Chains A and B, each alone.
Chain A
Amino acid sequence: MTEHGGTLEPIVDLSALPRHAMGARTPLWWGTVLLIAIESTCFAILFTAYLYVRNDFQEWPPDEHLRALPGALSAASLLLTIVPTWLYRAHACAHRFASMRRWLVIATALSFLAILARVWEIHALPFSWTGSAYASIVWMSTGMHTVEIVTGAVESVFMCVLLFRPKMELKTFEDVEAGALFWFFSVFVWLPFAALFYLEGVAR
């Protein structure tokens, strides 16, 4: 900051400030974190609703038992996407364009694989949402989370398209980082649900 003298009014010249930043310095990062806070609350409420409804049942789960394999595969394929996401985020933060683009493409492809696994998981649910309150909550949680990961995957496709244009705005690095944050959330928010549903919903 440079102080100019001459008048009583203090003047600061900020023309030398950077025109681009990353991480918690940027408004977009804060916007993304607040969006994650909103969605976390949504999922937390559903999670609590599941536990609340469980109190009303003598036998739990009240419907047919879940199949372990599709659920496990779906969760594992989601976890797998964390590695390339972590890498493309790190490269974005370091402004390494080529590596960022490479890992983003890989992460996007893996996220679609995870969606395929999710489709199988939904197909393998042994009950309809009309079965009981338990079935309704399992379906709604799974459905809401599917919307979440489809949104994240479509956003990744959009980012990929931007990165294959001849010119890329610097702030796209911020967008890519925000996309990664959102995807981390989308993956990790599912783990408590997967644990809850499959640890007690599968026949022993």
Chain B
Amino acid sequence: MNPALESTIGNAPVTRSEPRRHSAVYDWLASTEHTAIGRRFIATALGFFVLGGILALIMRLQLARPLLHVVGPDRYNQIFTTHGSTMMFLFAVPVMQGLGLYFVPLMVGARNLAFPRLANFAFWIYLFGGIFLYIALLSNTGPDAGWFAYVPLSGPEHSPGKRVDVWAQLITFTELSALSVAVNLIVTTFKHKAPGMSLDRLPIFVWGSLVTSFMVLFAMPAVIIASTCLALDRLVGTHFFNPAEGGDPLLWQHMFWFFGHPEVYIIFLPGLGMVSEIVVSTSKRTLVGYVPVVLANVATAVLAFGLWVHHMFATGLPQLGASFFTGASILIAIPTGVQFFCWIATIWGSKPKIDAQFSFILAFFATFLIGGLTGVMLAAVPINIQVHDTFFVVAHLHYVLIGGAVFPLLGGLTHWFPKLTGRMLSERLGFLSSGFVFFGFNLAFFPQHLLGLRGMPRRIYTYLPETEWGFWNLISTIGAFLLALGVLIFLINAARSLHKGPAAPANPWGAESLEWAVSSPPPPSAERKILLVPSRYPLWFGQLGRVVGVARDEQLVTRVVDAEPDHVVKAPIPNLMPLVTALATACLIVACIFTPWGLPVGAVFVSAALFVWFWPTDREPALDTERRFRDESEPKRVAT
């Protein structure tokens, strides 16, 4: 900073008034605490997980026997579409991001997120999107063209009405939220690490979250553009996907799967990060192959963008293209395999404590492995075409997503429950839950491989007795209910422990990472000490230090790679503008379903809200602009 500027700043008084006091409701709505926003994301996502699960149970009831009529075909279409959309957009991505919002700042030693008000906005826009979808479903306007909304089925000719538009705008809601969180997590990890937390000391969960956030940046735009094109085709008569006017339905598939395939890794890479954390803390050993595991995460992210076309083998690709995408799809098993071997090597000979959280990780090992292996099978064009659009694919994707994301998530929630709530979960109920979830899951989904191989297509609401699919469907339905029972026991365990569970110490597992250095639950960000990180496993090796000279309402900014202290910024003051902006944005998005004028009119309100949001609070160091202007404009006078 130049000396002239310093002197000018010195002459301009900085307002240092105490923030105004507000009601508890205001504070709740405006909260910028990453722990509060993270908890809301997690709780809301689990709520949508339950709703999506109920829809799944309705489908399983409908398919339990041939020719049942629990629901009709039209309702069934809405249910499977809403189930898929819920699980992908309203549960899997937000719950992982919610855990990131909660734990990334704690694990890197930051007081708060880089942009906490943006995180608050992200929560509200996500919540409004979810509510919007379920209002539509309950009013018989639920989307019904599948979670990937293939054209021409989802186009204006074959899907009149507003159902598909609801799906397209759900995408806008959730992607806006996901992108906001991704930017937040990347910048927090890059710029707000505690001194000493260099990139090569980041916990693996933080690496998973970082890599995933970058994937979100480059994957989500594809589905945003695709769904916007679809909405325009439906609303104003453009022809992006209309072959009669030169449009191309396959363009939709390319754009969708350019997002959709990385989405799978976006969902399970944070899960793999949780596996690493739990494996290390229960084995009480440093991770074997920290660098290979980090590189495996990065390699998975890069490769994930190069194999979307394996979802399109049945569309008739040039042979060279099919071979390339087969190769790429098989290749991605390698980095995942590297992680598997690193975990096994870490556990090997370590006498890990087999507790409830670890039981979920054991369930993950078996299940995800099967999902990975059927993935390798599906990468081969002949098998892929044979089982395309059958229950084999349904089984595969559930093995990958429930095995790769939900099992680690349940393990991760068990692991972090003491930190999140200050209470310990019941181990007994935890084991019971993991048992039911694992057994129920395999009973529900393994038979679907067999059904698929026997030709049962996806998305049919019933079937004839002559198909002989009834037995395995019944078994699958029984398994689904056992799985649901396991989830119910998990939720009961959580609710019970929240009220009656024993108080949790700061570090109940004797774990190594920084989130265990603060009390359970963590104190508000302003009261948190900024630590000096001595090693990659700071609670195991080296002496933790602390930083002084950073005020309660300030955040330390450090350098990206070596985390050396750089400068200090003010933490933003919480206000209602993120909520107001989210409301204005929600009105804009919903209005655009009905009229293109929703965009310009809505934009005026969103802009007005943003103006108020960004209006200066005058609590930062400031300069006297009139004096500065005079000084700089009249250099001669200053010289004399």
- A residues at B contact (CB < 8 Å): 1, 8-21, 25-27, 30-31, 34-35, 37-39, 41-42, 45-46, 49, 52-53, 56-57, 62, 94-99, 101, 129-137, 139-140, 154, 158, 162-172, 175
Contact of A17 with B239 at beta-carbon distance under 8 Å, contacts A12-B195, A30-B187, A95-B5 already known:
no
- Whole-angstrom CA separation of A96 from B614 in the bound complex: 22
- B residues at A contact (CB < 8 Å): 1-2, 5, 9, 12, 114-115, 179, 182-183, 186-187, 190-192, 195, 217-218, 220-222, 224-225, 228-229, 232-233, 236-240, 242-243, 245-248, 251, 254-255, 258, 532, 543-550, 554, 556-557, 559, 565-570, 607, 611, 614, 616, 618, 620-626, 628-629, 631-633
- Whole-angstrom CA separation of A30 from B242 in the bound complex: 40
Whether A163 contacts B567 by the Cβ 8 Å rule is no
Whether A166 contacts B614 by the Cβ 8 Å rule is no
Query: For A10, what are the chain B residues with a Cβ–Cβ distance below 8 Å?
Result: 532, 543, 545-546
Contact of B239 (CB < 8 Å), options: A21, A94, A97, A132: A132
Contact of A97 with B623 at beta-carbon distance under 8 Å, contacts A27-B192, A27-B569, A49-B225 already known:
yes
Contact of B624 (CB < 8 Å), options: A19, A129, A130, A166: A166
Q: Which of B183, B550, B556 has the most CB of A within 10 A?
A: B183
Whether A167 contacts B622 by the Cβ 8 Å rule is yes
Whether B566 contacts A169 by the Cβ 8 Å rule is no
Q: Which of B5, B546, B618 has the most CB of A within 10 A?
A: B5
Contact of A133 (CB < 8 Å), options: B5, B195, B247, B554: B247
- Whole-angstrom CA separation of A42 from B233 in the bound complex: 18
- Whole-angstrom CA separation of A125 from B245 in the bound complex: 18
Whether A14 contacts B548 by the Cβ 8 Å rule is yes
- Whole-angstrom CA separation of A169 from B271 in the bound complex: 42
Q: Name 18 extra pairs, CB < 8 A, besides A26-B191, A140-B229.
A: A14-B548, A15-B549, A17-B565, A19-B570, A27-B569, A31-B183, A37-B217, A38-B179, A39-B221, A49-B251, A52-B251, A97-B629, A133-B242, A162-B616, A167-B623, A167-B624, A168-B616, A169-B621
Contact of A139 (CB < 8 Å), options: B238, B547, B624: B238
Whether A170 contacts B225 by the Cβ 8 Å rule is no
3 interchain residue pairs of minimum CB distance: A15-B549, A10-B545, A98-B632
- Whole-angstrom CA separation of A163 from B628 in the bound complex: 11
A144 to chain B, nearest CB (A): 8
- Whole-angstrom CA separation of A42 from B567 in the bound complex: 33
Whether B611 contacts A130 by the Cβ 8 Å rule is no
Q: Which of B12, B182, B625 has the most CB of A within 10 A?
A: B625
Contact of A34 with B186 at beta-carbon distance under 8 Å, contacts A133-B246, A136-B238 already known:
yes
Whether A97 contacts B628 by the Cβ 8 Å rule is yes
A44 to chain B, nearest CB (A): 8
Whether A133 contacts B240 by the Cβ 8 Å rule is yes
Whether A169 contacts B114 by the Cβ 8 Å rule is no
Whether A53 contacts B246 by the Cβ 8 Å rule is yes
Q: Which residue of B lies closest to A2 (CB)?
A: B549
Whether B607 contacts A163 by the Cβ 8 Å rule is no
Whether B621 contacts A170 by the Cβ 8 Å rule is yes
Query: For A20, what are the chain B residues with a Cβ–Cβ distance below 8 Å?
Result: 1, 567, 569, 621
Contact of A21 (CB < 8 Å), options: B195, B258, B557: B557
Query: For A53, what are the chain B residues with a Cβ–Cβ distance below 8 Å?
Result: 240, 246-248, 251
Whether B567 contacts A130 by the Cβ 8 Å rule is no
Q: Which residue of A lies closest to B542 (CB)?
A: A10
Whether A172 contacts B568 by the Cβ 8 Å rule is no
- Whole-angstrom CA separation of A158 from B2 in the bound complex: 26
Whether B255 contacts A45 by the Cβ 8 Å rule is yes
Whether A12 contacts B557 by the Cβ 8 Å rule is no
B615 to chain A, nearest CB (A): 8
Q: Which residue of B lies closest to A164 (CB)?
A: B625
